[in-house]
Structure 1
Amino acid sequence: MQDRTPGELDYPLDRRIGKRSADKIAQQLGISTVGELLLHVPRRYLERGELTPIAEIPFDEEVTLVARVQSNNARRMQTRKGMILEITVTDDADGSLGLLHLTFFNGYQAQKDLQVGTRAMFSGKVGVYKRQLTLTNPNYVLLADDADDEEEAKRPIPVYPATAKLTSWEIKKTIDLLLDSLQTERLRDPLPEAIRRREGFMSLAAAYEAIHRPAEIQDAYKARHRFRYQEALVLQTALARRHAFTAQEDATARPPVQCGLLEAFDAALPFTLTAGQEQVGGELAADLARPHPMNRLLQGEVGSGKTLVALRAMLQVIDAGGQAALLAPTEVLAAQHHASITRTLGPLAEGGLLGGSDNGTRVALLTGSMGAAQRKAALLEAASGSAGIVIGTHALLSEHVQFADLGLVVVDEQHRFGVEQRDLLRTKGRHSTPHLLVMTATPIPRTVAMTVFGDLDVSTLAELPAGRAPISTYLAPLTEKPAWGPRIWARAREEIDAGRQVYVVCPKIGDREEEPGTELALIEETPVKTASARNQRPLASVLDTVERLQELPALAGTRIAMLHGRMDPAEKSAVMDAFNRGEIDLLVSTTVIEVGVDVHNATMMVILDAERFGMSQLHQLRGRVGRGGLPGTCLLVTNLEPGHPSRERLDAVAATTDGFELSRRDLELRREGDILGASQSGGRSTLKLLRAIQDEKVIEKARTDAQELVAADPDLVDYPGLNEAIEAYLNPEKEAFLERG
């Protein structure tokens, strides 16, 4: 029997550190249990060197000294807002009194901490202020009067992630109190003993002590390595267990059928499938033929043919008597999928209609903006089973939508949907759980896939179909090359005169409101705040750009239109249809054309203020050109100065068309939490110590261990500590992260 009594780590904080301290921790850090606070680990450590007597401090060098505050005076600055705090400290290390001046700019916390008579350890670089040796804004740690100078000096000082109302020093005092009262005999170690011995990890109690109060910096590193592996094992075991449980669910097997829709479709294809499409198609076919639900992630390069592979899986399900639902994030994309799939199927999409194939099916479209008559017809086709494929947006999730026999759910651009939405669609299977295929056009590095989608089987399409022309990407830095501005539009005119079409992408629509889910929400770093940036012109907008380009002599006589998310859905569809038919030469758009839009005659894209988009997003956007066998050109236009950090991202996009390489580079250039935390799961960063790129070997080892543990003990009866850690890990926020596949 598994012990179900709460472990030490589950205890509410107020039972260990008092209600007042616990309430402040909960309010400022969102932490409420012993285990959560113990895993609020230092972000760095201040290493102390030998203590330096004040009489011997050298100029322009880092020093560490223990001294007592002699005076504490604050005054307002005369030339700007704020205050200067001047502290004088003394020591008697060599028997003679030494004096040192400390200066803090806006040192409100130091003013409170460093009262006269307070003893502290100070560390900083020696400079000169008012012709006196001084430390400016030094780091400091308050000391008890009976502290051992030598011992304190050698002990690294932890620096915690803190807030304005809860300082690192307060967190340290609280954690010290918690460690002193910790009932170590009640700790349940998440790491199985065999793994602990194999890896030479210290015990859990020792690791908590070493990471928060290390005697030497090496102790902190060893503890951090242990907790990094622990985090990987907890996550991978949760994923492995979910995968195992899902594999035990019942699903209707949908094996291939001879002389069916799929065979007819393959026979009519005017091209040969790539080796990658054949391989992935075989993986999907085998999954669908099993009596347990397929749970597979299909990722691939822009233009690698993911939709075709998914369509062939849908046809296999239809051949076996089921239906397929394709969930798309936007009406533009849903309409594009409907048009593309209907066109690709040809007579096979006209089942029951005059001229349609005898063994054909129907493809229905269901979106929120459809008229009552269209909606009623689509609902009837889904409920009766006459539509083998139903394509839609969130409208598919309505309780009014019923299927005759839903056998396969395909989620396109899965990161745009919440877990509840995806799972709601899966509940529409009448007889059993439908198979699930989630697709992403954003290439995911292998370690990220293992970390985020560890409960899914992953298929990857890296090979581009024949006929896909290369896309040349160039940086257009207008700050140092202003003459390139007019040349951009002359170049666009050349494409149009050659019978081609051009996209122009802007980061905003043109008024104060931003388009939900498209523009600024997808920017990977905060807007530039430099003085030069503040003096720059406003960001390019669709409305202003259309107006400007219509007056540009270089584009006189060309047909210019715009597309953005706040247009009426019918108007958006009309614009895309016109662009598809070649009736629009230049389309000025927001990122609504980022995925799924497939206009073969479009050969050039101009992305204005390109630094406002993420690397993966830029890669997706440029994938809209060069789709018809003609070479594509993408210009990344920026007004940033040379040397700005965001220029490095743009250079990286221009340097390679390998989406997987870009995705990896993307993670290296920005905080990983942005991709694995808040922007994906809706809350704080999910990964604490683990880093998906840097910790590849740790993740792989933990994944192997997790799969072996779950295979031998699916309910983790013999590992209560690991089970407890998983339950603590899966709060609602992190469960959304875990299940987002």
Structure 2
Amino acid sequence: MRPEILFPLFQDVTALPGIGPRLATLLAKLTGPRVKDVLFHKPTSLVDRTRRTTVEEAPENEIVTLKAQVEEHIPGRRQGQPYKVRMYDGTGFLHLVYFHGRPDYLKKQLPVGEVRIVSGKCDRYGSEIQILHPDLVMTEDEAAETPLLEPVYPLTAGIVPKTMRKAVQGAVSLCPPLPEWLPEDIRARGEWPDFRTAIRQLHAPESAADLDPETPARERLAFDEVYARQLALQLVRSRRKAQAGYPLKGDGSKVKALLEAAPFAPTGAQLRAFDAIKSDMEAPTHMTRLLHGDVGAGKTFVAALAAAQAAEAGMQTAIMAPTEILARQHAKTLTQLLEPAGLSVIALTGRDKGKARADLLERMAGGTVDVICGTHALFQEGIEFAGLGLVVIDEQHRFGVSDRMRLTAKGKRPDTLVMTATPIPRTLSLSVYGDLDVSRLDEKPAGRIPPETRLINMERLDEVVDGVRRAIDRGDRVYWVCPLVEESEMSELSAAEDRWRHLKAQLGEDRVGLLHGRMKPAEKEAVATDFRAGKMDVLVATTVIEVGVDAPDATVMIIEHAERFGLAQLHQLRGRVGRGDKPSSCLLLYKGPLGETARARLEMMRETDDGFRIAEEDWRLRGAGDPLGLRQSGLPDFKLADMEIHGDLIAIANDQARLDVNRDPELTGERSEALRVLLYLFEQDQGVRLLKSG
């Protein structure tokens, strides 16, 4: 049950002053539907009305506050002209300008002969000094009671600043004193106020400096948000560790056979990662481990070793990929690796229908197949495994924590290995994967030659096409990546379909293929297979090839409008070439002039092939916008924390959360009530569900 102390904050926003049903709908879209969502709506700037000036000295294009006497009302002489009110302060005339102003209202608010204090942005129109639609018009008595510093909030159509400020102040007044969930040493280190004081300071800045995200109040709130997230992840991790797993121990024969038949010598990083996985699998507890590494670092080989370990213990492995094309590719690669060890591999995707599908399901349920590759459809009802011991999820960033929790429902609490070819900065890995143990592959197989990366202006497109013709004439294979599927009037970007038609005309009808996300899975796979088999020389594609279209002997990657892609995505695409022992190249075509960030991205691509360095730089350049393109799944949507600025707080929060859960796994100790309030306040459902009384 949600703690009673939080009830006021979980009321509907209609509990706030000035918010009726119509505004509640708008406010819910902007902030969320509850009082606490409004409470967490941060101001972005400050209107400072403390600056008093005279009409003569009023600066242009700045908000000013003036005291003057109302001299005359001047209605517009014809339709469309504004209504004006002339004022005088002894130094000059000021005109207040209103379009569609109601004369009766304005005469009541600004009576001739009376003194008023007005505030707004000052402009000059010809010889006139004017304020268009003043923000405030007050008597001197009203001005004495009106705050002259006002926070400015993000708004949506239909909600005006005054309504938003009133709603926020209502939310602040409903915030009760909450029990302190932070240890004293952490609060003291940052000189942080208590939560309620921090919230009040957030919404009552006394200067622009108070809006700095690194002020003690803002840091405190950011820490609370990431701490709640880390505490939930550590509760998930602790509960899983406490659950009995199925020890997957074998005699080492299948792993040995796989290693002896492998077409290459494993890297030290691969062997270290497998040692950690093997140790986890043999333990009586449930494994959940993240394997992340650079493009081409050999994740699939490590997954094959883990599958061999599971098979030695008589258990099956399911490998889940984000697309059918990648699932079938995994099946092909794993068959080559695992057949020498006597293991059978199948692919099961939505394409399999009728008797063929029934046969596959029968083999899975009967235990005559060891490794099953598919998409998330593997975990639908009606699909049965004889004994599922290991689940491998590829491209884990496309699935979230809740998916990981659901997977354990199949089999006897199968061990779970999640993999991504996106190297992840530590800050981000803690934020997204704090519930997992982590292994990283930071070495690439010997003999690989990194692609040579060049930046080329789109104006030299004809030269690039000539270069492609020469490359395919000598037997090379080329990827050509475009950012859109079809030409849009809203965009100047070349579309994949247009480029495909253009290259077919230049290079020959049967030499160029097209692959994009709107094609049916069977069409996609047919094109990918033809390209891999050498039946076409150039594959024009959208980013659908980022994960999954492997043609080991492709040596040229061309990325059109490379300035529109993120660093991590560029690195993923470049990783499609340079997988063999032949020299390869990556051409980044850009349209100038380049902005500073775009240029920095492309220069970084030219400088290095190190995915971990690129990931850190991507994190720095993109900040909290959409680091590594993870926004669609798994990356928490923080409201109070800014990952670009508060990223270092995550490690501290993670350490504290681990300490809390290790000391008190059930949260029953002296700080338990406060920690429960924290989890419920930030709606960390994974953690809340694991609390005994919740």
TM-score relative to the length of structure 2: 0.86
Q: Which residue of 2 aligns with 1:439?
A: 419
Q: Which residue of 1 aligns with 2:515?
A: 563
* Distance in 2, Cα, partners of 1:115 & 1:610: 60
Conserved 8 A contact 1:301-1:441 = yes
Q: Which residue of 1 aligns with 2:692?
A: none
Measured after TM superposition, the shift of residue 646 of structure 1 is 4.6
1:595 and 2:547 are equivalent in the alignment: yes
Q: Which residue of 1 aligns with 2:324?
A: 331
Q: Which residue of 1 aligns with 2:295?
A: 302
* Distance in 2, Cα, partners of 1:273 & 1:347: 16
Measured after TM superposition, the shift of residue 305 of structure 1 is 0.8
1:579-598, CA deviations, whole angstroms, 9 ceiling, x for partnerless residues? 22222211222222211332
Conserved 8 A contact 2:190-2:216 = no
1:722 and 2:671 are equivalent in the alignment: no
Q: Which residue of 2 aligns with 1:205?
A: 196
Measured after TM superposition, the shift of residue 374 of structure 1 is 2.7
1:538-592, CA deviations, whole angstroms, 9 ceiling, x for partnerless residues? x43333322221221xx24872222233444344333322322222211222222
Q: Which residue of 1 aligns with 2:286?
A: 293
Instruction: Please tell me the residue identity of whatever aligns with 2:468.
Output: A
Which residue of the other structure, out of 354, 358, 362, is the alignment partner of 1:380? 362
* Distance in 2, Cα, partners of 1:292 & 1:199: 38
1:276 and 2:227 are equivalent in the alignment: no
* Distance in 2, Cα, partners of 1:189 & 1:312: 48
Conserved 8 A contact 2:388-2:410 = yes
Judging changes above 3 Å, is the alpha-carbon distance between structure 1 residues 31 and 370 closer, same or farther for their aligned structure 2 residues?
A: closer
Measured after TM superposition, the shift of residue 364 of structure 1 is 1.1
* Distance in 1, Cα, partners of 2:561 & 2:244: 50
Which residue of the other structure, out of 91, 94, 102, is the alignment partner of 1:100? 94
* Distance in 1, Cα, partners of 2:434 & 2:567: 24
Q: Report the count of equivalent residues.
A: 677
1:63-107, CA deviations, whole angstroms, 9 ceiling, x for partnerless residues? 6324479589898999xxxx8967657475xxx364334679x99
Partner of 1:387, secondary structure, is coil
Partner of 1:325, secondary structure, is strand
Partner of 1:680, secondary structure, is coil
Instruction: Please tell me the residue identity of whatever aligns with 1:361.
Output: L
Conserved 8 A contact 1:677-1:687 = no
Q: Which residue of 1 aligns with 2:56?
A: 55
The residue correspondences of 1:206-245 to structure 2 (distance < 5 A) are 206-217=197-208, 221-245=215-239
Conserved 8 A contact 1:686-1:734 = no
Q: Which residue of 2 aligns with 1:318?
A: 311
Q: Which residue of 2 aligns with 1:519?
A: none
Measured after TM superposition, the shift of residue 419 of structure 1 is 5.5
Measured after TM superposition, the shift of residue 391 of structure 1 is 0.5
Q: Which residue of 2 aligns with 1:498?
A: 474
Q: Which residue of 2 aligns with 1:367?
A: 349
* Distance in 2, Cα, partners of 1:268 & 1:76: 93
The residue correspondences of 1:254-653 to structure 2 (distance < 5 A) are 254-255=248-249, 257-348=250-341, 360-417=342-399, 422-429=404-411, 432-478=412-458, 482=459, 484-510=460-486, 537=492, 539-552=493-506, 555-556=507-508, 559-643=511-595, 646=598, 649-653=601-605
Partner of 2:300, secondary structure, is helix
Conserved 8 A contact 2:297-2:441 = yes
**Structure 1 residues not aligned, in runs of 5+:** 349-359, 513-532, 737-741
Instruction: Please tell me the residue identity of whatever aligns with 1:496.
Output: I
* Distance in 2, Cα, partners of 1:239 & 1:89: 63
**Structure 2 residues not aligned, in runs of 5+:** 690-694
Conserved 8 A contact 2:427-2:648 = no
1:385-407, CA deviations, whole angstroms, 9 ceiling, x for partnerless residues? 22111111233123222111101
Measured after TM superposition, the shift of residue 6 of structure 1 is 4.3
Judging changes above 3 Å, is the alpha-carbon distance between structure 1 residues 678 and 550 closer, same or farther for their aligned structure 2 residues?
A: closer
1:132 and 2:128 are equivalent in the alignment: yes
Conserved 8 A contact 2:28-2:34 = no
Q: Which residue of 2 aligns with 1:528?
A: none
1:666-722, CA deviations, whole angstroms, 9 ceiling, x for partnerless residues? 344446243499932499x71123233432332222222222222222333424233
Judging changes above 3 Å, is the alpha-carbon distance between structure 1 residues 143 and 252 closer, same or farther for their aligned structure 2 residues?
A: farther
Measured after TM superposition, the shift of residue 663 of structure 1 is 2.9
Judging changes above 3 Å, is the alpha-carbon distance between structure 1 residues 15 and 574 closer, same or farther for their aligned structure 2 residues?
A: closer
* Distance in 2, Cα, partners of 1:233 & 1:336: 40
Which residue of the other structure, out of 119, 122, 141, is the alignment partner of 1:122? 119
1:633-676, CA deviations, whole angstroms, 9 ceiling, x for partnerless residues? 11222335444865554444344333333333334444624349
Q: Which residue of 2 aligns with 1:44?
A: 45
Measured after TM superposition, the shift of residue 489 of structure 1 is 1.3
1:475-497, CA deviations, whole angstroms, 9 ceiling, x for partnerless residues? 2222xxx2x21111111122212
Conserved 8 A contact 2:199-2:217 = yes
Conserved 8 A contact 1:190-1:234 = no
Judging changes above 3 Å, is the alpha-carbon distance between structure 1 residues 457 and 142 closer, same or farther for their aligned structure 2 residues?
A: farther
Judging changes above 3 Å, is the alpha-carbon distance between structure 1 residues 246 and 101 closer, same or farther for their aligned structure 2 residues?
A: farther
* Distance in 2, Cα, partners of 1:6 & 1:292: 36
Partner of 2:467, secondary structure, is helix
* Distance in 1, Cα, partners of 2:101 & 2:607: 47
- What percent of counterpart residues are identical? 36
Instruction: Please tell me the residue identity of whatever aligns with 2:482.
Output: C
* Distance in 2, Cα, partners of 1:671 & 1:654: 21
Conserved 8 A contact 2:199-2:221 = no
* Distance in 1, Cα, partners of 2:518 & 2:179: 53
Judging changes above 3 Å, is the alpha-carbon distance between structure 1 residues 183 and 308 closer, same or farther for their aligned structure 2 residues?
A: closer
Instruction: Please tell me the residue identity of whatever aligns with 1:65.
Output: T
* Distance in 2, Cα, partners of 1:199 & 1:172: 29
Conserved 8 A contact 1:558-1:586 = no
Partner of 1:54, secondary structure, is coil
1:170 and 2:156 are equivalent in the alignment: no
Judging changes above 3 Å, is the alpha-carbon distance between structure 1 residues 121 and 716 closer, same or farther for their aligned structure 2 residues?
A: farther
Instruction: Please tell me the residue identity of whatever aligns with 1:445.
Output: P
Q: Which residue of 2 aligns with 1:146?
A: 141
Judging changes above 3 Å, is the alpha-carbon distance between structure 1 residues 455 and 25 closer, same or farther for their aligned structure 2 residues?
A: same
Partner of 1:460, secondary structure, is strand
* Distance in 2, Cα, partners of 1:337 & 1:443: 20
CA RMSD of aligned residues (A): 3.8
Instruction: Please tell me the residue identity of whatever aligns with 1:440.
Output: T
* Distance in 2, Cα, partners of 1:107 & 1:653: 55
Judging changes above 3 Å, is the alpha-carbon distance between structure 1 residues 734 and 610 closer, same or farther for their aligned structure 2 residues?
A: farther
Conserved 8 A contact 2:449-2:582 = yes
Measured after TM superposition, the shift of residue 611 of structure 1 is 3.9
Partner of 2:480, secondary structure, is strand
Conserved 8 A contact 2:10-2:36 = yes
1:413-444, CA deviations, whole angstroms, 9 ceiling, x for partnerless residues? 12334666555543221xx2111111111222
Conserved 8 A contact 1:676-1:687 = no
TM-score relative to the length of structure 1: 0.81
Q: Which residue of 2 aligns with 1:711?
A: 662
Judging changes above 3 Å, is the alpha-carbon distance between structure 1 residues 608 and 243 closer, same or farther for their aligned structure 2 residues?
A: same
Instruction: Please tell me the residue identity of whatever aligns with 2:471.
Output: E
* Distance in 2, Cα, partners of 1:576 & 1:565: 13
* Distance in 2, Cα, partners of 1:89 & 1:306: 75
* Distance in 2, Cα, partners of 1:661 & 1:74: 65
Q: Which residue of 2 aligns with 1:20?
A: 20
1:277-299, CA deviations, whole angstroms, 9 ceiling, x for partnerless residues? 12211111111111111111111
